[in-house]
Structure 1
Amino acid sequence: MIPRLRNRSAMLPASGVFFEIINHGVPLHVLDAVKEAAHRFFGLPYEERNKYWAGNSLTDTVTLKTSFVPQAEAALEWKDYLSFRCSPRDLESFPLWPPVCRDEVVDYVESAKSVIRKLLEVLLEGLKVKQIDKAREYTLMGSPIVNLMYYPHCPNPDFTAGVRPHSDISALTVLLQDDNGGLYVRATQNDSWIHVLPINGALVINIGDILQIMSNDRYKSIEHRVPPMEAKTVSVPIFVNPGPDAVFSPLPEVLESGEQPLYKEVVFSDYFKYFFSKKHDGKKTMDFARI
């Protein structure tokens, strides 16, 4: 997988598409187990799930939520999600995580670390970055988040959405879909929506806003959405995020020929807070970083 991607690293992300990878090194039993764990958690009685709602959870490293920004939405998105912060420091709270899914979440994120790093190395090679040192590793992948996404059957799909159109604020997003799929991406040529059909054992790779900014628009994050689902559906994204206090901007290697930066320096925690202060609205979050 990686050698073939290496040969196409300048073409795939810049063309504005998601791509799916197989033979990525994450065992199939790990992928199946984390999907099953998502179903187990959301099948718990309300009283058990309620222990992890934001405000109830004993640790802020795991929280159960519904819409991403409920205070800014006229109609809530038709989903629930359990969010795990998975940096080494966050993993110290592991004993406080739900027993029905915590082992599977950790196995998934740990198993994916190798392919995530290889993908970032290939993409940064296309930006003339020779190696990812400790500082850049923190800027690219210092605070990963894993979400167990649950989309119940929606009886009135005309009045809501699963997830509204947006681009991710990560460097990369690695998405595991179940057999129902549901992910749609916006085509860059004609603004139509393309259904990303699930492939057994595959991971969907999505360039996030952080890489678009660091590449000075050579790589592009793409809008995507999930409609209300007819059948109970789960998906499990890993958001490969910078550390909270990491500062990002166009890379020096990108600007070394005199190219002007399109974005200012931004602290990731500020970008994160801005994203969650408003409803999803395409790629408008990026205006926060534009010069």
Structure 2
Amino acid sequence: MAPTISLPITDSSEIRDFVLNQGNGVKGLSELGLKSLPEQYIQPLEERIIVNEDNNIPQESIPIIDMSNWEDPEVANAICDAAEKWGFFQVVNHGVPTDVLENVQNATHQFYGLPSAEKRKYSKGVSPSNSVRFGSSFSPVAEKALEWKDYSASFYVSDEEAFELWPPVCRNQVLEHMKSSKILIRRLLQVLMKRLNVNEIDETKELMLMGSVRINLNYYPICPNPELTVGVGRHSDVSTLTILLQDDIGGLYVRGNNDDWIHVPPIYGSLVINVGDALQIMSNGRYKSVEHRVVANGSRNRISIPIFVNPRPQDIICPFPEALASGEKPIYKQVLYSEYVKHFFKKAHDGKKTVDFAKI
């Protein structure tokens, strides 16, 4: 079915209907051959980022950690130091097979190559389950300026539900990637917990740390005026950890220690790890979730695939007793995780403000 929208586009409701209701997404807008960015996507000046295209200028970046010998104490120290000082790091030789990473990237492109009517089956109000959701931007109802991104979010409940409800074109590859990452996730959490004086992750703590998993397939189509908008605005994740697979295009920026924006260069076969708000809260601020954002691209379509490892919705999150064993006072109160997440999603991206919801 051909897109039902006329050029030039001036009507806000027409754009919303085309992008959200018809399931075309911003990918559909991009493919219309727009010469200029629709007004709804133009971000305020303070939310834009100027990308330095001069690759000859050396730039500080997040740590890169080789996990080929993950039992090495130096590897453990590097992981914990990165989580404390940066909140972000890249891992190589992490144990997730390269073909699994390539397969899930190819499957992501296949999903976004589906006709709009097929993708629309998973959009809000139409999807057969809240566990599967296709959409655009972050929170279109709350945002004053929309983000130039489409996404497909799948919450893992069971293999049976995934086979029944997840998009068949990418289901197997997404499941394989998620399952192949479990050993890495457990290793990272074991290392991070030891520095918090948690020497053994029992069943209760494991459910608290990684009892719920969501995986997104993100698509950032070519943008006519990338300098005027964002792929994703400033935010920190609400997860325990996020495991991100980037393609080779790049566009992820992290808030550096000097308050500057630092590009995370793609490394073939690597995964980007970042601390989420939940782990910041459970570590009483020792591990830091950090603002990050994604720029729009004017020449290439970009994808990214984050796995969000979370507490369960019914969990009460607060600093672990072990993190307070040396007499530290708790910075955060007890918060029902589902309420924390609801607070995050009811507003536009706003940097690190969500974590204030949990402060004492």
Question: Does the TM-score normalized on the shorter chain lie above 0.5?
Answer: yes
Higher relative contact order (CA 8 A, sep 6+): 1
Deviation at 1:257, TM superposition (A): 2.6
Q: Quote the residue 1:232 is aligned against.
A: 301
SS at match of 2:230: coil
Q: Normalising by structure 1, what TM-score?
A: 0.96
Cα distance in 2 between the residues matched to 1:278 and 1:26: 35
User: Does the alignment pair 1:194 with 2:238?
Assistant: no
Q: Report how far residue 8 of structure 1 moved.
A: 2.5
- Structure 1 residue 94, shift from structure 2 partner: 2.4
**Structure 1 residue 59, shift from structure 2 partner:** 1.6
* Structure 1 position 67, deviation (Å): 1.4
Change beyond 3 A, Cα 1:134–1:17: closer
- How many Å apart are 1:254 and its aligned residue? 1.3
Cα deviation for residue 181 of structure 1 reads 1.5
Larger Rg: 2
Is the contact made by 1:186 and 1:192 (CA closer than 8 Å) also made in structure 2? yes
Counterpart in the other structure of 1:43:
113
The letter for the 1-side match of 2:290 is I
Give per-residue Cα distances to partners, 1:51-106, cap 9 Å, x unaligned.
Answer: 11111111221110111111111121101000000133x75242221110000110
Contact 1:59 1:93 (C-alpha < 8 Å) held by counterparts: no
Q: Which amino acid aligns with 2:272?
A: V
Q: Does the 8 A contact of 1:164 with 1:225 survive in 2?
A: yes
Q: State the partner residue of 2:353.
A: 284
Quick one: which amino acid aligns to residue 262 of structure 2? I
The one-letter code sitting in structure 1 at the alignment partner of 2:240 is A
Q: How many residues align?
A: 289
Q: Structure 1 255/91 Cα, relative in aligned 2: closer, same or farther at 3 Å?
A: farther
- Higher mean alpha-carbon deviation, 5-14 vs 221-230, is at 5-14
Question: Which position in structure 1 is the counterpart of 2:52?
Answer: none
1:249 to 318, 325, 328: 318
Q: What SS is found at the alignment partner of 2:239?
A: coil
Name the amino acid aligned to 1:25.
G
Structure 1 alignment gaps of length 5 or more: none
Do the aligned residues in 1 keep the contact of 2:282 with 2:318 (CA within 8 Å)? yes
- Which ranges in structure 2 are unaligned for 5 or more consecutive residues? 1-66
CA contact (8 A) 1:9 1:126 kept: no
In the alignment, structure 1 residue 115 sits paired with structure 2 residue 191: no
Question: What is the DSSP-based 3-state SS (H/G/I as helix, E as strand, rest coil) of the residue aligned with 1:70?
Answer: coil
Measured at CA, do residues 238 and 132 of structure 1 come closer, stay the same or move farther in structure 2, by a change above 3 Å?
A: same
Aligned-residue offset at 1:10 = 3.6
Q: Secondary structure at the match of 2:204?
A: helix
Partner AA of 2:254 in structure 1: V
Structure 1 residue 131 displacement after superposition? 1.0
Please show how residues 45-84 of structure 1 align to structure 2 within 5 Å. Answer: 45-84=115-154
Contact conserved, 1:17 with 1:187, CA < 8 A, in 2?
no
What is the match of residue 26 of structure 1?
Answer: 96
Shift of 1:259: 1.4
Partner of 1:134: 203
Give 4+ residue runs of structure 1 displaced > 6 Å after superposition: none
- Which of 279, 282, 287 aligns to 1:211? It is 279
Partner of 1:72, secondary structure, is: coil
AA aligned opposite 1:79: K
CA RMSD of aligned residues (A): 1.2
* Counterpart selection for 1:269 from 329, 338, 346: 338
| Alpha-carbon separation, structure 2, partners of 1:91 and 1:146 | 17
TM-score by length of 2: 0.78
User: Is 2:284 aligned against 1:220?
Assistant: no
Q: Distance in 1 between matches of 2:126 and 2:228?
A: 29
Q: Alignment identity in percent?
A: 54
Contact 2:162 2:171 (8 Å CA) reproduced: no
What is the identity, as a one-letter code, of the residue corresponding to 2:231?
G
In structure 2, distance between residues paired with 1:10 and 1:114: 18
2:128–2:165: 8 Å Cα contact kept in structure 1? Answer: yes
Q: Counterpart amino acid of 2:317?
A: F
Q: Deviations over 1:231-279 (max 9, x none)?
A: 1000000000111101110110111232110000111111110000111
Greater mean alpha carbon deviation, residues 157-166 or residues 31-40: 157-166
Q: Which amino acid aligns with 2:78?
A: R
- 2:156 partner letter: C
Would you say the 8 A contact 2:87–2:287 is kept in 1? no
Aligned residue for 1:156?
225
Deviation at 1:17, TM superposition (A): 4.2
Q: Is the 8 A contact 2:80 2:191 kept in 1?
A: no
Question: 1:34 deviation in Å?
Answer: 0.5
Does the CA-based 8 Å contact 1:75-1:159 persist in structure 2? no
Displacement of 1:7:
3.0
